[in-house]
Structure 1
Amino acid sequence: MRPQRTSIHAVTTWVRRQPPKVKAFLAVVSGMAALVLLRFIVHDHDNLFVAAEAVHSLGISVLIYKLMKERTCAGLSLKSQELTAIFLAVRLYCSFVMEYDIHTLLDFATFVTTLWVIYMIRFKLKASYMEEKDNFAIYYVVVPCAVLALLIHPSTSHHLLNRISWAFCVYLEAVSVLPQLRVMQNTKIVEPFTAHYVFALGVARFLSCAHWVLQVLDSRGHLLVALGYGLWPSMVLISEIVQTFILADFCYYYVKSVFGGQLVLRLPSGVV
């Protein structure tokens, strides 16, 4: 185990010393390699989206365990949970009126558990809530997402309100984790359960992004036409990619911390 850790430390040290452009290039190459691997391992790429939702649910389960066992919500962003509840509620509405399927049930389960987490933070564990650290103004993301949804949304045959709602939840999901990242930026130290939760979000975002990219490749671009015309198909893919890259840096330090045997994750300045 020691030689393995030494090798990993040498690699991470080398990566950390590289200029930003090289790091970005390495991140893109790593992402493409992972996509190629998933394309050959997973035969039905629609299962990647189910896996993404399952990993998100697993992350919520980690939060529930933290709240139940440690009786503290320190390090958690209430605003991120509220944004998550908002986009899940809108997505559930869209699912019921547009395309009810297994994803609706998974989203409903995640929505209910997210509401429970919000209830615990707001009422049961309010004394440990770090409100001064959770200082991200959510209207900075809700308003732009709403405006963007009004301007760019699906061009399908559904009612206009439903199409705008669908676009809104896609955009809001892409940035819903920003308040949580702000909390971690303010504290600089992330305790294990919160780190596990955010890493689970990062994995879920990557799987969801991989699902869309591979579906587009499998259909030779026809999926983009099925989503509608204009800028909307491109915005769906961009939103998925944005979600992934928002959490990529954190996931890198999380993996490094785990292999280094550290229980508490310490983030350098400017990571999130």
Structure 2
Amino acid sequence: MGSRRTISVVAGWVRRQPPKVKAFLCVVAGMAALVFLRFVVHDHDNLFVAAEAVHAIGISVLIYKLTKEKTCAGLSLKSQELTALFLAVRLYCSFVMEYDIHTLLDSATLVTTLWVIYMIRFKLKSSYMEDKDNFATYYVVLPCVVLALAVHPTTSHNIVNRIFWAFCVYLEAASVLPQLRLMQNTKIVEPFTAHYVFALGIARFLSCAHWVLQVLDTRGRLLTALGYGLWPSMVLLSEIVQTFILADFCYYYVKSVFGGQLVLRLPAGVV
């Protein structure tokens, strides 16, 4: 009870702060978490594996929701379609540029994502909140295409493959936006959807931590290994953007869990 009361007091204080102070506190918390991970996790490549594992847990929660609860209410079909798109492009790039263990992991993720899309479109269509899932995906796809054409890897691979690789990096960073918009429209997020999105947030943070700590460990040599120009910085920036897009939701999720609430209620302006 004492710990919950303390957390409630701290959460209340944070909630009363102006947006700039909240952003500063978020940055400080993220930096503190990075310092903690740097000293606790000796092989920082394990952070990327952990990110994949957490993502898998999130998808497992999603599968449970669709098969046991028999409803897709609260899930964004558009986010799932964007996820399938960047995974398909990334798999193509992996096969023609660098085939490794992550290719197998992405293959498994793509298969489950396509299954989720099938369930929403056909099996559970009656529970799909189409009117709430109103984020225009071209606001995400078109800027990613333009950015990929302008800033892409400078390796020796074919120019088309390099543009595709950049496109999937940028699209991954913004693919969750339709899901966040849907949740903002409904204001109430049921538990399984909240667990799934929170898992995405944790996975994105661990992936971002992996890149940041790898850059620090190599004293910047990792960035030069990725190429020259703006591309190395854009890779790192994309990872950071992915994390901060979900940071606000994760705050309200943790607050809700410690408050003993099964249903997450989002205030206006979270997304």
> TM-score band (shorter)?
over 0.9
1:108 aligns with 2:100: no
Cα-to-partner distance string for 1:111-164 (whole Å, 9 max, x where unaligned):
100000000000000000000000011111111101110110000011111110
Q: 1:18 Cα shift?
A: 1.1
Query: Counterparts in 2 of 1:203-222, with a 5 A limit?
Result: 203-222=202-221
Partner in structure 2 of residue 35 of structure 1? 34
Q: Which runs of 5+ in 2 are unaligned?
A: none
Partner in structure 1 of residue 230 of structure 2? 231
1:186 aligns with 2:185: yes
Give the superposed CA RMSD: 0.6
Partner in structure 1 of residue 150 of structure 2? 151
Partner in structure 1 of residue 140 of structure 2? 141
Distance 1:19 1:270 in 2: 13
Query: Counterparts in 2 of 1:113-124, with a 5 A limit?
Result: 113-124=112-123
1:76 aligns with 2:75: yes
Cα-to-partner distance string for 1:1-50 (whole Å, 9 max, x where unaligned):
x1111110000001111111111111111100000111111111111111
Partner in structure 1 of residue 8 of structure 2? 9
TM-score (norm 1): 0.99
Q: 1:224 Cα shift?
A: 0.5
Partner in structure 1 of residue 171 of structure 2? 172
| Percent of residue pairs bearing the same amino acid type | 85
Partner in structure 1 of residue 51 of structure 2? 52
Partner in structure 2 of residue 264 of structure 1? 263
Distance 2:139 2:22 in 1: 29
Instruction: Detail structure 1 runs of 4+ shifted over 2 Å in the superposition.
Output: none
Cα-to-partner distance string for 1:189-213 (whole Å, 9 max, x where unaligned):
0000000000000001100100100
Distance 1:186 1:86 in 2: 24
Given that 1:80 and 1:177 are in contact with CA atoms closer than 8 Å, whether structure 2 keeps it comes out as yes
Q: Aligned to 2:91, what secondary structure does the other structure show?
A: helix
Q: 1:99 Cα shift?
A: 1.1
Q: 1:58 Cα shift?
A: 1.2
Distance 2:7 2:269 in 1: 22
Distance 1:98 1:54 in 2: 24
Given that 1:63 and 1:194 are in contact with CA atoms closer than 8 Å, whether structure 2 keeps it comes out as yes
Q: Which runs of 5+ in 1 are unaligned?
A: none
1:21 partner amino acid: K
Instruction: State how many pairs are aligned.
Output: 271
Distance 2:111 2:151 in 1: 29
Partner in structure 2 of residue 202 of structure 1? 201
2:15 partner amino acid: R
